[in-house]
Amino acid sequence: MAFYEHLGWRSVRVPAGTTPGIGPAVWVEDPLGFTVEFFHQAALADRLQQRYDLRRGAEVARLDHFNIVVPDVQGAYDYYSSLGFGLSETIEDGQTLYAAWMYRKQTVHDMAFTGGAGPRLHHLGFFAHESHCVLRTCDILGSLHEEAHIERGPGRHGVSNAFYVYLRDPDGHRLEIYTSDYYTGDPDHPVLRWDVTDPRRRDFYGHAVIPSWYAEATTVLDLEGNPRPAREIRQVEEVTVGADGFPAR
């Protein structure tokens, strides 16, 4: 808490169980405007990894990452660098960092930054083992005539190599189910930098990104549970330069 107090940001202690299964915790409003929870104890859930008999749908193996919308991607990168996160991939040009993927665990990312009005949550990313799991998620939604919840994909990202689908849950929050990113644990793991004009950066098959995917995101709450206002983007937007969301431009 002292670290954040030193930075001038608010924090609060919350008792065990405030988040189900989580021990005593500290909630902080971080410099990017997101409420972050720190804890040192979590209840173990049953190991269902080989309970194939119980698996349905997406067969998610784990929660993998958060993608957040920030008005200043360079600032978000600087802050997470200061926390010890490594950089795996970027979208950039000579002037601007449009997006960045950063990791603590040995995968492509635990946190990614999308440029836009923020703080907002872009999506939660869940890992599945194989591409047919991603397809199955879509097939089930089609079967149930709930295909309107499939916002984007299936497709492959250039960035991260993930084969993905993006869903919107009934409240509009965005979820990604993906597979096939890669190991980043080598100490000299090189950064992969994508040019913002490469049409494969957001979709390796070159398809236009649906505009809602750039425009819409989830409001975040402050320590009191009130919506935090989003500041307008301070930099040139990727969609203005790369135009992959707006084929008519």
**DSSP 8-class letter at 83:** T
Which whole-number Å values give the CA distances from 144 to 20, 139, 148, in the listed order? 30, 9, 10
At its nearest, how many Å lie between its own copies and the CB of residue 115? 23
Pairing of strands 163-168, 174-179: antiparallel
Amino acid at site 118:
G
- What CA–CA distance (Å, rounded) separates 86 from 105? 9
- Check residue 190 for interaction with its own copies (CB under 8 A): yes
- Check residue 13 for interaction with its own copies (CB under 8 A): no
Here's the x/- map for its own copies, 111-130, by CB under 8 A: it reads as ------------------xx
- Check residue 62 for interaction with its own copies (CB under 8 A): yes
Pairing of strands 120-128, 60-70: antiparallel
Give the 3-state secondary structure of residue 60: strand
- Single out the residue of 182, 193, 215, 229 in contact with its own copies (rule: CB under 8 A): 182
| Size of the chain in residues | 249
Here's the x/- map for its own copies, 203-242, by CB under 8 A: it reads as -xxxx-----------------------------------
- Check residue 170 for interaction with its own copies (CB under 8 A): no
- Single out the residue of 7, 83, 140, 215 in contact with its own copies (rule: CB under 8 A): 140
Give which of 114, 112, 210, 103 is closest to 155, Cα–Cα: 210
User: Which residues of the shown chain bind its own copies in the complex (CB under 8 A)?
Assistant: 42, 44, 47, 49-54, 61-62, 105-106, 129-132, 135-136, 138-145, 147-148, 150, 154-156, 158, 161, 163, 179-180, 182-183, 185-186, 188, 190, 192, 199-200, 204-207
